Amino acid sequence: MQTVWERVAPLVREGKLLGVFLECAYENSQPDSSLFGHLTPSWMMSEFHQLAELVALDNPEQALNGLKVVVTHMKPILKNVPAVEYVIPQELAELNDLGIKFIIPFQGMRIGF
Check whether 53 has a pLDDT greater than 70: yes
> Element (H or E) spanning 95, and its range?
helix 84-95
Across the chain, mean pLDDT equals 92
Mean pLDDT of 46-64: 97
Domain boundaries, the chain: 2-103
Whether residue 1 contacts residue 46, with contact meaning beta carbons closer than 8 Å, is answered with no
Check whether 106 has a pLDDT greater than 90: no
Check whether 1 has a pLDDT greater than 90: yes
| Predicted TM-score (pTM) of this structure | 0.89
DSSP code per residue over 9-71: HHHHHTT----EEEE--S-TTS-GGG-TT---HHHHHHHHHHHHHHH-TT-HHHHTTT-EEEE
**pLDDT tens profile 74-92:** 887 666 666 778 899 999 9
Interstrand relation of 20-23 and 68-72 (parallel, antiparallel or unpaired): parallel
Alpha-carbon torsion, ordered 27, 29, 31, 36, to 10 deg: -10
